Chain A
Amino acid sequence: MSSQTRVELRKDLFADERDDNLNEIGRPTARQDILGHVTGRSPFFDDHQFDGLLHMRCVRSPHHHARIRRIDIAAAERMPGVRRIILGRDVPHNLNTLLSLIDFGRDDEPLLATGKVSYVGEAVAAVIAETERQARDAVAAVRVDWEVLPHVLDPEEALAPGAPIVNETWPRNVFEYHDKYTHQKLRFGDVERAFARPDVEIVEGRYQMSPIEQAPTETCGAIAAPETNGRYVCHTSTQALFFSLGTTAKLLDMPSSRLHFIGGTVGGGFGGKVDSLHEPLAVLGAILTGAPVKYIWDRAEEMQVGAPRGAERWYLKDAVTRDGRIVARRFRGYFDCGAYTRLSSYAVQKATGHLPGPYTIENVSSDVYCVFTNRTPATAMRGFGITGVDFAIECHMDKVAERVGLDPIELRILNAYRDGDMKAHRRLAKNTALIECCQVAAEKAGWPIRPEFAAMSSLTGGGGDRAAIPETVTDEEGRVDGTPAARPAPRPAAPAPAPAPATASTSARPAAPATRPAAPPATPPAAPPVAPPVSAPAPAAAPAERPQERPAQKPYQPQEPFTRGVKKPGAHRFSSLSGTRRR
């Protein structure tokens, strides 16, 4: 591959902004860890071996949405090698949201589901056994009595009246921003006035990104083991050591000082190793059994249970003058975050701050929704919050270029943001380099652009009038009053189709959309999404699990914690400090 790859450093560009005479910076120094990686000797979390290691596997929902009437673990508990079966009631603080660590959002996700499940693959019990085989067999022997509930999988259908409530913490099926709106707004100038101008072309489009898998070579996992001093060591594949440590401390209601997390060498992450699902369960398993416990996903779980890069759907509308200047751009975006928030709420704001892309446009408006559906929760992936909307923006730019008869690269250079321009989020642009990237890429590809475009620069031509904040039209569309019960009653016989904005491929030529047609034109979603508060499934307040009679399976109580099993003789007879097996 390297013979096909050519890399050049364009030191001629921005040379006066750099000191290129440094000792170590800028050198192609070989990686400190490369020899270990290429010889297979770098220790990953799963290379830490423990005598008496137990294996954890989860019982998972086969349904998109179902109430749990009863979980019967009696047969599974008696199976060979089974040491413990953990249920939601054993988790001391069984409700969390990842970003509570930065005080954003509401706790909305259990570690192990209790009242109901909201996606296929959601865990309801964790079996710990002496071998992985035994754990798998016992998982198959756990009987769950399900009551299947109606589900919703399309984000716009989830916003329609009468849609099933996916997550009772968010009864409108959306993350509520600022406790005020069903979505995050961006308002800059007045797009509607620009759309009405007689001298502009209108270009509209609908774009969608399906979920994809981060696909690390090493699947997500953790090994936890009791230390001799009331602490627990956890070897983990996490991308964020203290995120996982903090989440574990919260869910297990224990001080961080009792947790010793070790990681740092990871077999690929790409965003899929932030969710911190493995560490709390593995540590809880170590607490409850007094033995080292490994919890790792197999490939099928990694792909279908593990959070993907979530789907996004975007509607764009541009007003462009016939000489190619985009004067207004409106977005409506839907992030399909699946059954729980994880990090999608954050991605919506990140996307909003990114709009309208790297262009200076005098009127910009955006409404972006973080929508709950009955699918695997979404999470971060390389380019999180940006990749999907960049796909929409840059496909749209191609259509705009065609409409006004301008070269696609010249259209980008013409509209590119430059130093000193006001951005739609109301901060001045600085340190920009889009124009130069366009010019260099065109040059490399042998794609001719006209001299006046080849001569433009990010350093000049910005600011001035382009630094102004325009008079801005705001609105209160999508207002929530903070009390879900006070929502308007559902409209009777509401049609199933979502309230999608009217849209279509607006290309003048008959280029057929090759995929499913855009949602049929419908009334614009002026009304906030409403769902009936009563007819939908009851909230998770009525778990129907049968009380367990077996004394061995009392729910775990953190009030008398951290001693059970720790001093069990013979359970582990070597230090886990180094993590490697000693005999």
Chain B
Amino acid sequence: MARHKGRGFAAINYPIGMNLGGDPSQALVHSNPDGKFMVSLSSIDLGQGMKSVTRQIAAETLGVPVEDVYVDTADSDTGPHCMGSFASRGTHRVGNAVIAAAQEARAVLLEAAAEELEVSAADLETDGRGNIHVKGAPGRSITTAAASLAAQFKQGRTVSGRGIFLIPFAGVDPETGEMTPVSCFAHAALVVDIEVDDETGEIEVAKLSSAYEVGRALNPKLVEQQLVGGAWMGMSHAAWETTEPYYPDRGHGPEDFNQYLMPGPGDIAPHDIAILERPAPDGPYGGKGPGEMCANPVLPALANAVYDAVGVRIDELPVTPEKILRGIQANGGARPKGRR
């Protein structure tokens, strides 16, 4: 027996948002009298960080510190319509809706400040730390708290905004498949290094090296969370998971986590990640959506690495020890292709 090293590569792109459009999302933003903002959504935070990304987007657009903004999801009585959190649409679609709502609220805030400072709103800017001042004259300023209070208790303005983002639905041509599927794509390329035991057929992942292009890392830690977790979900899909181990036979279906195999902490390997940012022209601050695509390159990269290691092509997922062993047997032994 021997353990054989192998490495595999794959590259992918990924469409952001619901294919063909037709998937609106809305946002409402309003300020308390003391200049603290609330973003109301009906979007869902699955753990991916929807609340945090939209919070940062709202703060950036409003020009206030992030701690002055909170995001509320999801209540159908208070949050306006959103198609939902799927299809990598959250950051892109909801983020754009939040920008639109925050821009409208910001305009009122600046008008209120302008009235207090007796200048034109066009001459004002925010410093992102809770102050509004005249461009070029930081001394002539008012806090966002004072401007909000004046707006609501003195001027009778509601410091609020509404936003919607919609890419209108466009169909598919039945004859040629001509369509406008989405407006932007994320990208990734990944190398996986593995060792294959030719006696047990087991794979051990030694290292992942990857480059993910996400438009803009709106919050690098949330991107990291997606890429690290997503790549391991991809690895799990590639080499462990299935609800139908002998598909299309329905037998032997797992019903709990003792039978449904996934990698455990001991199976985690180092992951060396580069994040590339080519902003999407229509993304919120250029952001795309890293959540789904991060898993995709891992599957083929792993199958390609197995071929490199022992000369067995596994064209059916998952890449199980059984399939590897049967392939080695059929070849009359492991046939390493030579490390690249």
**A23: interface (CB < 8 Å):** yes
Task: List CB contacts (< 8 Å) of B246-296 with chain A.
Answer: 247-250, 253-257, 260, 262, 265, 268-281, 285-286, 291-293, 295-296
Query: Complex formed: what's the CA distance from A369 to B78 in Å?
Result: 41
Q: How near does chain A come to B128, taking the closest CB pair, in angstroms?
A: 3
**B74: interface (CB < 8 Å):** yes
B83-A242 in contact (CB<8A): yes
Q: How near does chain A come to B242, taking the closest CB pair, in angstroms?
A: 4
A427-B180 in contact (CB<8A): yes
B278-A426 in contact (CB<8A): no
B340-A394 in contact (CB<8A): no
Across the interface, A274 reaches (CB within 8 A) one of B86, B220, B277, namely B86
Contact mask A165-198 → B, CB, 8 Å, 1/0?
0000000000001101100111110000000000
A210-B318 in contact (CB<8A): yes
Task: List CB contacts (< 8 Å) of B32-85 with chain A.
Answer: 42-47, 49, 51-52, 55-57, 59-60, 63, 65-66, 70-77, 79, 81-85
Instruction: Give the chain A neighbours of B242 by CB distance below 8 A.
Output: 210-212
**B211: interface (CB < 8 Å):** yes
Instruction: Give the chain B neighbours of A436 by CB distance below 8 A.
Output: 187, 211, 213, 276, 278
A393-B209 in contact (CB<8A): no
A472-B303 in contact (CB<8A): no
B15-A386 in contact (CB<8A): yes
B76-A390 in contact (CB<8A): no
Across the interface, A514 reaches (CB within 8 A) one of B59, B84, B233, B314, namely B314
**B161: interface (CB < 8 Å):** no
**A299: interface (CB < 8 Å):** yes
Across the interface, B44 reaches (CB within 8 A) one of A264, A350, A357, namely A264
Query: Complex formed: what's the CA distance from A445 to B153 in Å?
Result: 61
A18-B216 in contact (CB<8A): yes
Instruction: Give the chain A neighbours of B295 by CB distance below 8 A.
Output: 382-383, 387
Query: Complex formed: what's the CA distance from A511 to B243 in Å?
Result: 28
- Report if A25-B316 is in contact (Cβ < 8 Å); known contacts: A260-B76, A264-B45, A266-B46: no
- Report if A25-B174 is in contact (Cβ < 8 Å); known contacts: A213-B260, A262-B74: no
A391-B85 in contact (CB<8A): no
Q: How near does chain B come to A209, taking the closest CB pair, in angstroms?
A: 5
Query: Complex formed: what's the CA distance from A181 to B239 in Å?
Result: 36
A178-B174 in contact (CB<8A): yes
**A265: interface (CB < 8 Å):** yes
Instruction: Give the chain A neighbours of B119 by CB distance below 8 A.
Output: none
B79-A408 in contact (CB<8A): no
A239-B15 in contact (CB<8A): no
Across the interface, A425 reaches (CB within 8 A) one of B178, B245, B285, B316, namely B178
Instruction: Give the chain A neighbours of B325 by CB distance below 8 A.
Output: 514
- Report if A212-B275 is in contact (Cβ < 8 Å); known contacts: A353-B15, A398-B307, A511-B331: no
B210-A441 in contact (CB<8A): yes
Contact mask A1-45 → B, CB, 8 Å, 1/0?
100111111110110011000111111111111000100000000
A264-B83 in contact (CB<8A): no
B256-A245 in contact (CB<8A): no
Q: Smallest CB-CB separation from B323: which chain A residue?
A: A514
Task: List CB contacts (< 8 Å) of B188-240 with chain A.
Answer: 188-191, 193, 207, 209-213, 216-222, 224, 227-228, 230, 233, 237
Query: Complex formed: what's the CA distance from A31 to B19 in Å?
Result: 29
Q: Smallest CB-CB separation from A398: which chain B residue?
A: B304
A303-B253 in contact (CB<8A): yes
**A505: interface (CB < 8 Å):** yes
- Report if A308-B176 is in contact (Cβ < 8 Å); known contacts: A299-B257, A303-B253, A514-B314: no
- Report if A102-B22 is in contact (Cβ < 8 Å); known contacts: A4-B269, A211-B247, A241-B42: yes
B292-A472 in contact (CB<8A): no
A7-B243 in contact (CB<8A): no
Instruction: Give the chain B neighbours of A6 by CB distance below 8 A.
Output: 270-273
Across the interface, B237 reaches (CB within 8 A) one of A155, A212, A395, A409, namely A212
Query: Complex formed: what's the CA distance from A8 to B211 in Å?
Result: 10
Instruction: Give the chain A neighbours of B85 by CB distance below 8 A.
Output: 239-240, 269
Instruction: Give the chain A neighbours of B82 by CB distance below 8 A.
Output: 240-242
Instruction: Give the chain B neighbours of A447 by CB distance below 8 A.
Output: 7, 9, 191, 340
A208-B317 in contact (CB<8A): yes
Q: How near does chain B come to A78, taking the closest CB pair, in angstroms?
A: 30
**A259: interface (CB < 8 Å):** yes
Q: How near does chain B come to A361, taking the closest CB pair, in angstroms?
A: 14
Task: List CB contacts (< 8 Å) of A421-455 with chain B.
Answer: 424-427, 430-434, 436-442, 444-445, 447
Q: What is the interface residue range for chain A against chain B?
A: 35 or more
B262-A215 in contact (CB<8A): yes
Query: Complex formed: what's the CA distance from A407 to B220 in Å?
Result: 32
**B312: interface (CB < 8 Å):** yes
Q: How near does chain A come to B7, taking the closest CB pair, in angstroms?
A: 7
**B140: interface (CB < 8 Å):** no
B7-A431 in contact (CB<8A): no
Q: Smallest CB-CB separation from A256: which chain B residue?
A: B76
**A267: interface (CB < 8 Å):** yes
- Report if A514-B330 is in contact (Cβ < 8 Å); known contacts: A211-B242, A212-B241, A445-B193: yes
**A484: interface (CB < 8 Å):** no
Q: How near does chain A come to B102, taking the closest CB pair, in angstroms?
A: 11
Task: List CB contacts (< 8 Å) of A268-310 with chain B.
Answer: 268-271, 273-274, 299-300, 303-304, 308
Q: Smallest CB-CB separation from B255: which chain A residue?
A: A300
A514-B324 in contact (CB<8A): yes
**B124: interface (CB < 8 Å):** no
A240-B83 in contact (CB<8A): yes
- Report if A390-B296 is in contact (Cβ < 8 Å); known contacts: A4-B270, A311-B244, A358-B11: yes
B315-A205 in contact (CB<8A): yes
Instruction: Give the chain B neighbours of A245 by CB distance below 8 A.
Output: 76
**A325: interface (CB < 8 Å):** no
**A207: interface (CB < 8 Å):** yes
Q: Smallest CB-CB separation from B48: which chain A residue?
A: A269
Q: How near does chain A come to B189, taking the closest CB pair, in angstroms?
A: 4
Q: Smallest CB-CB separation from A353: which chain B residue?
A: B181
Instruction: Give the chain A neighbours of B193 by CB distance below 8 A.
Output: 445
27 A-B pairs with CB atoms under 8 Å apart are: A10-B211, A18-B216, A25-B56, A26-B220, A27-B66, A102-B22, A177-B172, A181-B174, A187-B177, A207-B316, A210-B247, A210-B316, A210-B317, A242-B82, A264-B74, A268-B47, A375-B248, A376-B243, A383-B296, A387-B295, A390-B12, A398-B307, A412-B11, A425-B179, A430-B281, A511-B311, A514-B327
CB-CB nearest 4 A-B residue pairs: A240-B84, A514-B327, A353-B181, A394-B300
Residues of B within 8 A of A (CB): 7-15, 19-20, 22-23, 42-47, 49, 51-52, 55-57, 59-60, 63, 65-66, 70-77, 79, 81-87, 128, 169, 172, 174-182, 184-185, 187-191, 193, 207, 209-213, 216-222, 224, 227-228, 230, 233, 237, 241-245, 247-250, 253-257, 260, 262, 265, 268-281, 285-286, 291-293, 295-297, 299-301, 303-304, 307, 311-318, 323-328, 330-331, 335, 340
New A-B pairs, 16, CB < 8 Å, besides A178-B174, A185-B177: A25-B218, A215-B260, A238-B84, A270-B46, A273-B46, A311-B244, A349-B19, A358-B11, A386-B293, A394-B300, A417-B13, A437-B212, A437-B276, A444-B274, A513-B327, A514-B325
